[in-house]
Structure 1
Amino acid sequence: MKKEKTVAKVFEVSIGFVTLLACTGCSNNRTDNTSATTDSNRMNKPASTAGVNDETVVKNLAKFDTLDYIVFSRRDWDRFHESHSPNIKVYFPDGHMTKGFDVHIKDMDAMFVYAPDTRITAHPIKIGSGNITAVTGVMEGTFTKPMPMGNGKFIQPAGKAFKIPMSSFGVWQNGVMVEEYLYWDNKTYMQQMGIGQ
C-alpha cells in the first residue's frame, strides 16, 4: 500500500512536471527547427525555488544542488551520504536499476572514465511536493578518453563535447533520497559524442 502511494505521488508530480514543461515550451511560440543543443542553451538559466513553501522541500532541493554541482561534478563521492540513503534504488534511462549507493557511485564514476570533465551546469527547474522532488539539469562534458565496451574493447574518443538536458525525480525520507529516477536522451548523448553516426 505504501509503495502504491509513493508510485502514485511520483506519477502525480511527473504529470505536473510534464505539464509545466509543455506549457513552458508552448509559451515560446517557436516555429523554427531549433536544435536540442540550442534548447540546452536556452535552459541554462538560474533556477529558483519560487513558489515552494514547504521548508523540507526547499532543504531537499538545496541538497540536490549540492549533489549535482559539487558531489557529482567534482566526483566527491565521500559526500554522497548527504543526499542518498545507503540502500537507495536508482532507475537509469537505459532501464537498469541499482540498489545501494556504492553501486550507484560505480555507475556514475564510469561516466568520467571517457569524459573526465562531465558536470552538471544548471538546474533550470526545481519543484517538489511532500517527499518528492523533480529537477531538470544540463549535463556537459567532452569525450576525450577511450570508452570501455567490455571484453577488452574500447571506443576511441572523438574529442567531441556534449550538452544534454536531464532530469531527476527523487523520493526522500529523513533528509536523503531513497529512490531516484534519472532521465536523459541516450541517443542524443551518444550522437553528440560522435558515437553511432
Structure 2
Amino acid sequence: MSTVMDRRTLLRDSSAAALGATALSAFALGEPALAHQALRTTPLPDPATTPVPNPPFPHGLDPAERAHLKTFDELDFDVFTHADWSRLGESHAPNIRVHWPDGHYTDGIDQHIADLKALFVWAPDTRILEHPIRIAMNEFTAVTGVMRGTFTRPMPDGNGGFLPPTGKKYAINMATIGIWNRRRGYMDEEFLFWDNQSFYAQIGL
C-alpha cells in the first residue's frame, strides 16, 4: 500500500515540467526504454490533423514493459474502438482508479465501462487508432493517442434531456499515464488527459 501511495504522491506533486524533464534526462542519458528506434530530426506534425504512423516500440524494454505497451495498444485499437467492454479486464484492475481530464476520478472497472459507453451513445464511431508516442519505464507507461468520432446521435445532458447532434467530427490529442501491476499485468491506476475546451468546440457545443 505504501508503494502505491508513494507513486500517487509522485504524480500528484510533480509538475508537468518535472515529468518532462525526467523524460528528457532519460533521453540525454541514452535510457533505452525511453528512446525510439531513431531520434527524430524533425518535429511531428499535429497528429490530430495530420495522421502519423504508429512508431515501433522503444529499444531496451524488459518483457513486462513491452507487454504493458502491447496491452495498451490492444486496449485502444481493439477493445475501445470496437466497444468490446468484456475485454477491458485485460488491461484494467477490477478496482482501478481512473482520473479524468476535468479532475474527477472514479473507482472500479464497472464505473469505468459505464463512462466509456457514454462516449459511444452520441458518437458511435468513436475510435483510437494512433499512438504517436509510447514510453515505458518500470511500472509506468505514457502513451499519446488521437481520439476521433462524429456527433451524430443525441447526447444526454445530465438533466434528463438531450442535446441534438451537430454532425460535426472531432479529433483530439490525448495522453494516458498508466500505473501497472507487474504481477497481474493490468493497470491499477490510469490518468487521462485531453483539452475539453477543444473537444466541445469541435463538436459544436
Given residue 189 of structure 1, which amino acid in structure 2 is its aligned partner?
F
**Pair 1:186 & 2:196 matched:** yes
Relative to its length, the structure with more helix (as a share) is 1
Contact 1:17 1:134 in 2 (8 A): no
When normalised by structure 1's length, the TM-score is 0.84
**Pair 1:6 & 2:16 matched:** no
Instruction: Give the superposition deviation at 1:40.
Output: 1.7
Local SS of the residue matching 2:61: coil
What stretches of structure 1 of length at least 5 have no aligned partner? none
Matching residue within 62, 67, 76 for 1:59: 67
In the alignment, the residues of structure 2 paired with residue 135 and residue 149 of structure 1 have an alpha-carbon distance, to the nearest angstrom, of: 30
Aligned pairs for 1:160-175 within 5 A: 160-173=168-181, 174-175=184-185
* Aligned-residue CA RMSD (Å): 2.6
In the alignment, the residues of structure 1 paired with residue 40 and residue 166 of structure 2 have an alpha-carbon distance, to the nearest angstrom, of: 32
Identity score, percent: 41
What stretches of structure 2 of length at least 5 have no aligned partner? 26-38
In the alignment, the residues of structure 1 paired with residue 185 and residue 19 of structure 2 have an alpha-carbon distance, to the nearest angstrom, of: 21
Local SS of the residue matching 1:150: coil
Counterpart for residue 151 of structure 2:
143
Instruction: Give the superposition deviation at 1:14.
Output: 3.5
In the alignment, the residues of structure 1 paired with residue 87 and residue 56 of structure 2 have an alpha-carbon distance, to the nearest angstrom, of: 24
Q: Deviations over 1:103-140 (max 9, x none)?
A: 00001110001100000020000111100000000000
**Pair 1:112 & 2:120 matched:** yes
Q: Provide closer, same or farther for how the CA distance between residues 50 and 40 of structure 1 changes in structure 2, counting only shifts above 3 A.
A: same
Instruction: Give the superposition deviation at 1:51.
Output: 2.0
Q: Provide closer, same or farther for how the CA distance between residues 17 and 125 of structure 1 changes in structure 2, counting only shifts above 3 A.
A: farther
Given residue 136 of structure 1, which amino acid in structure 2 is its aligned partner?
T
How many residue pairs match? The answer is 185
In the alignment, the residues of structure 2 paired with residue 98 and residue 185 of structure 1 have an alpha-carbon distance, to the nearest angstrom, of: 19
In the alignment, the residues of structure 1 paired with residue 155 and residue 40 of structure 2 have an alpha-carbon distance, to the nearest angstrom, of: 35
Aligned pairs for 1:17-166 within 5 A: 19=24, 28=43, 38-42=46-50, 44-166=52-174
In the alignment, the residues of structure 1 paired with residue 199 and residue 131 of structure 2 have an alpha-carbon distance, to the nearest angstrom, of: 18
- Higher mean Cα deviation, 134-143 or 53-62? 53-62
Given residue 136 of structure 2, which amino acid in structure 1 is its aligned partner?
G
Counterpart for residue 20 of structure 2:
15
In the alignment, the residues of structure 2 paired with residue 101 and residue 14 of structure 1 have an alpha-carbon distance, to the nearest angstrom, of: 27
Instruction: Give the superposition deviation at 1:42.
Output: 3.6
When normalised by structure 2's length, the TM-score is 0.81
In the alignment, the residues of structure 1 paired with residue 24 and residue 122 of structure 2 have an alpha-carbon distance, to the nearest angstrom, of: 35
Q: Deviations over 1:36-88 (max 9, x none)?
A: xx552345321221224221111000000000011111010001111110000
Instruction: Give the superposition deviation at 1:25.
Output: 11
